[in-house]
Amino acid sequence: MKLRPILRGLLFIAVLGGIGLIIKHSGLADHFDQNWIDSEIRNSGWQGYAIFLLAGGLMAGVGLPRQIVSFLGGYAFGVTLGTGIALLATVIGCIAAFTTSRLMGRDLIGPRLPVRIRRADDYFRDNTFAMTLLIRLLPVGSNIVLNLAAGVSSVRAVPFFSGSAIGYIPQTLVFALLGSGVTVDPEIRISLSVLLFLVSAVMGVALYRRFRQGRSFNRQIDEAIGTDDIPDNETRTDRAS
C-alpha cells in the first residue's frame, strides 16, 4: 500500500482537527457550544434532524466529501447520534446521485464512456453488495464518481445502497468523533480519530486486495493502494480512453 492515500487522509484529519482547536481556543466555541446546539438543532426535534439530513444529503449528493458531513454531524449531535445522522445523510446523497445518474445520465454518459461503464459492470457483476462494501472501505477514490458510474451501469440498486451504507460506517465514525472533539477533549479525540482512520484504512486495503479477484473498478485506485495485478487489457483500454 502506498503512503500517499494515508498521508492525504491524515492531512484531512489534521486540517479539520486544527479548525476544531481554533474554534475551541479562540472563544468561538462560546457561541457554538452544546447549549447553542441544543437550542437551535436538538430542541427543534424532527425539524432540526430533517434540516441536517436534507442539507447533508445534498452536500454528499453533489460531491462534497462525506467526511465533512460526518464531521459536522459529530459536532452538532455528538459521536453516537452524529454518526447515525451523518451516515443516513450520506446514504441519502448516494441514493440521490445514483438515481439521478440512472434516470438522466445513461443516454448522455453511456455513449461517451463505454469502457468505464463496462468496467463497472464487470466489477460489480457477481456480488454487488460485497464489491461495493470493499471499495467504500478504501481511503481513496471519489464517492460521487462511484455513485454516478454505478448509476449509468447495470448495477442493482439495493445491494449497492446497502453495501455503501455499511462501508461508510468506519470513516463516518472517525470523522464524527473528530467533530465531537471541537467542544470536548479535542486532543484525545483527534488522536483516537487518527488511530481509527489508520486501522480502517489498512483493513479496507487488505480486504480489497484479497477479495477483489483480479477485477478493477478504477485503475487509479489500484495504483494508489499498490495493487500490481491490473489486467493488461484494462491498462490498454485506460490509455485509449
Sequence spans of domains, the chain: 3-240
Cβ 12 vs Cβ 140: under 8 Å? no
Q: What is the pTM of this model?
A: 0.73
Predicted confidence at residue 85, as pLDDT, reads 95
Contacts of 136 (CB under 8 A, 6+ apart): 146, 163, 164, 166, 167, 168
Distance, in Å, from the CA atom of 209 to the CA atom of 1, rounded to the nearest integer, reads 10
Q: DSSP letter at 43?
A: G
Task: Give tens-digit pLDDT for 103-158.
Answer: 887 777 667 767 777 777 777 877 889 888 888 888 777 788 889 888 888 889 99
Predicted confidence at residue 235, as pLDDT, reads 41
161 vs 229, more confident: 161
Distance, in Å, from the CA atom of 66 to the CA atom of 165, rounded to the nearest integer, reads 12
Cβ 200 vs Cβ 137: under 8 Å? yes
For the chain, what is the largest distance between any 2 Cα atoms, rounded to a whole number of angstroms? 59
227: which 3 cell numbers? 495493487
Q: How far is CA 171 from CA 23, 94, 136, 144, 177, in A?
A: 23, 15, 9, 16, 10
Q: DSSP letter at 138?
A: S
Mean pLDDT of 76-89: 92
31 vs 158, more confident: 158
